Amino acid sequence: MQISRTAIYIVCWVIALTFFAVTNSLSAFADESGTIKGVVETPWVKRYEALVYIENVKGTEFPPPKENPFMSQKSLVFKPYILPIVKGTTVDFTNNDDVSHNIFSPPGSAKRFNLGIYGVGVTRTVTFDGLGEVTLLCNVHSEMSGFIIVLQNPYFALTDKKGNFEIKNVPAGTYKLKIWHEKLKDASQEVVVEAGKTASVEFKKNELKSR
Amino acid sequence: MKRTIFWMLILTVSFSFVEFFPKDAEAIPTFARKYQTSCSTCHIAMPKRNAFGDAFRRLGYRIPGGDETYVKEKPVSLGAEAWKKMWPETIWPGVLPATVPISFYGHQRFIWTEDANAKTTFDAPHELEMLIGGNWGEKISFFGEWLLYEKAFADDRDKLGDLFVQFNDLLGNRPGMLNLKFGKFETGASHGFKDDNRLTPSHPMPYDYTVTGGGTDKSLRTKQAGLELNGIIKSWFEYAFGIVNGNGTTDDNNSDKDLFYRVAYKFGGMGFDGSGGESPEQLVMKDNWRDDSITVGTFGYFGYPSNKSTPDENYRRLGVDLRFQYDRIDLGGAVVFGKDEVVGGKDIKSSSFFVDAQYLFYPWLLGNVRYEAKEFDSTQEDINAVVANVTILQRANLRWNVEYNHYIEDSDGNDTVKANLMFAF
């Protein structure tokens, strides 16, 4: 059977158009995200980091990570001091000290739990299924404290000592950008993220009130 | 030859007129260490504070606008702050200063006294003091002053200048609006204004004078044991009132307590609570001495020294004060009117005033002239005097000064020249 020349032309055109469409759509997909960059202007950031996060990305469910993040207890200190996670994440509480700990969350926390006393090298886990702030305390060592912040999405960043932050790969859109800080009341700003661009945000000192 | 040596000493040392200067020295290096900042952040020349230092004191030794962010010495935690959420199931969390909050203050002097047997005297050391101060968390402050050495004070109770705890911000989160001071302290009637912010080691007469033959031998600035409520309203109005034993350092002998008050309003400059000011970083080594403003105040003290065995000899002091600051000039004054009841006799009426002019030539060189007087409608001697002082700061914590005290009438007393070296560490 002989394939007509016209048919070959048509097939070639279909393949070429399909290839063009696919590559074009892929590159468009890659460019649909942008970056949010900014600063939180408060002297508090020298001592305590601020968490900057997008409050809600509509229409998307963000699965928890496959590997559990950890909240270590080492030298009578929670490490990290602030752990932002996505809702549904299970966190490993590992005692890396030479003494026992009893980690719990006080009233007002988004997740109440009490791990009981556990010894050196032991890991206990907690799944955080509600949004918000979870304060961590140790019943054995009253000076210890830490925070887990449960968020709806993975678009967040902690500030450096100068208050600078950067959130990458944010889908293009308009969002409410919020900050959480243990010493400050929540503050928010609307931010427009455009594909392939960087949006700048400033949380000014006079907008930030003490808790 | 003696005269030459004397004047050489005067020129090389520095001078002043000192009665009981240390009694309110709040130039305390403990705070400098805590915040890793220079004395000059709060003091023009110890103990004289700038507006920022005044706000720091008024707020209970806390830096305006978020003290904790400026603390460089991480305090010892007595419970993480989040334990507040567990109250009343647990003790409210607090902190201890990271290092023992102790400082020392030393004072050496050389005195020349007119018409005295020993015209010249080295009074060194004149005194050595231990100072403590700090916070147990944001809401509780403490301050103390213990005279380790001074010839004039033999009694241990006299040696303890201050020791008080202040509970801050009793009205929630409004810094300094209502504070409660408990312990031994100079009452708010005289503390915190020109007496506390003088350049001269000697105290202005209105705060220092006593009445002979009345119900008390205490001056307005005498340290007293009791309670004081003080605070700042809307940055520009300050108040203090309280109740004290009235017996100074000695135990009270009656159930009647003394009362006092002071209210003041400030126009311009930095608010009493530090509002409108610059951050400590901006203040250091800048013109932090400048605070263009006018402050007016009124104060009173009502003494009730009665007891069961002796009749009442109540007394009172009422006064007004004024301070005008512009650029390098700091002018001030106060007048006090007193009335002391005398059992079986006529009440003694008294009055005292001072006017004071200070000029800052350089941040390390300041001059001060004061005219002061006290008058009595009794046999007690009226006194008029002029005090002149030159202050040189060799370092922020090392101060020289020369003070000349001249009595207008020869009969009022011998003129003196005193050279002082004061240091804190």
What is the tens place of the pLDDT at every residue in A117-135?
A: 999 999 999 999 999 999 9
Q: Record the tokens describing residue A7, joined without a space.
A: 């048919």
pLDDT over threshold 60, residue B211: yes
Q: Write out chain B residues lying below 8 Å of A144, CB-based.
A: 80
Beta strands in B214-345 (DSSP E): 223-233, 237-244, 258-267, 293-303, 315-326, 329-340
Q: What is the mean pLDDT of chain B?
A: 86
Q: What is the pLDDT of residues B79-111, one digit of tens each?
A: 998 999 999 989 999 999 888 899 999 999 999
CA dihedral B131, B132, B134, B135 (to 10 degrees): -150
Q: Residue B336: pLDDT band by 50, 70, 90 thresholds? A: very high
Instruction: Report the residue of chain A nearest B84, measured CA to CA.
Output: A106
A 10 A CB-CB count for A128 gives: 25
Q: What is the pLDDT of residues B365-424, one digit of tens each?
A: 999 999 999 999 998 999 999 999 999 999 989 999 999 999 999 888 899 999 999 999
**Residue A95, min C-alpha distance to chain B (Å):** 19
CB B72 within 8 A of CB B87: no
Report pLDDT for B212.
Answer: 86
CB A191 within 8 A of CB A174: yes
Considering only residues B17 and B254, tell me which one the structure prediction assigns the higher pLDDT. Answer: B254
Report pLDDT for B65.
Answer: 76
Instruction: Report the residue of chain A nearest B96, measured CA to CA.
Output: A143
CA-CA distance, B177 to B239, in Å (whole number)?
Answer: 9
- Which of B19, B9, B13 lies closest to B405, judged by CA? B19
pLDDT over threshold 90, residue B282: no
Q: What is the mean pLDDT of chain A?
A: 89
| Burial of residue B151 (number of CB atoms within 10 Å: 0-12, 13-18, 19+) | exposed
| Burial of residue B283 (number of CB atoms within 10 Å: 0-12, 13-18, 19+) | buried
Of A43, A107, A137, the CB nearest to B80: A137
Report pLDDT for B153.
Answer: 62
- Residue B201: is the preceding peptide bond cis (ω within 30°)? no
DSSP class of B310:
B
Q: How far is CA B421 from CA B16, B118, B201, B393, B403, in A?
A: 9, 21, 11, 10, 12
By DSSP bridging, strand B76-77 and strand B95-96 are: antiparallel
CA-CA distance, A199 to A155, in Å (whole number)?
Answer: 14
- The yes/no answer to whether this complex scores an ipTM above 0.85 is no
CB B22 within 8 A of CB B160: no
**What does the radius of gyration of chain B's CA atoms come to, in whole angstroms?**
22
Scanning A49-88 for CB atoms below 8 A from B yields none
CA-CA distance, A152 to A59, in Å (whole number)?
Answer: 11
Residue A124 belongs to what H/E stretch? strand A123-127
pLDDT over threshold 60, residue A55: yes
Distance between the two ends of chain A, CA-based, in angstroms?
82
Residue A123 belongs to what H/E stretch? strand A123-127
Q: Record the tokens describing residue A160, joined without a space.
A: 């450096």
Q: Write out chain A residues lying below 8 Å of B76, CB-based.
A: 143
Of B78, B79, B85, the CB nearest to A107: B85
Report pLDDT for B250.
Answer: 67
Of B69, B78, B81, the CB nearest to A145: B81
Q: Record the tokens describing residue B91, joined without a space.
A: 């003790």
CA dihedral B9, B11, B13, B15 (to 10 degrees): 110
Mutate to test the interface with A, among B77, B92, B138 (most CBs of A within 10 A): B77
**Burial letters B359-383, b for 16+ CB under 10 A, else e:** ebeebbebebebbbbbbbebebeeb
**Burial letters B26-63, b for 16+ CB under 10 A, else e:** bbbbbbbbbbebbbbbbbbbbbbbbbbbbbbbbbbbbb
Q: Is B80 near chain A, with CB under 8 Å?
A: yes
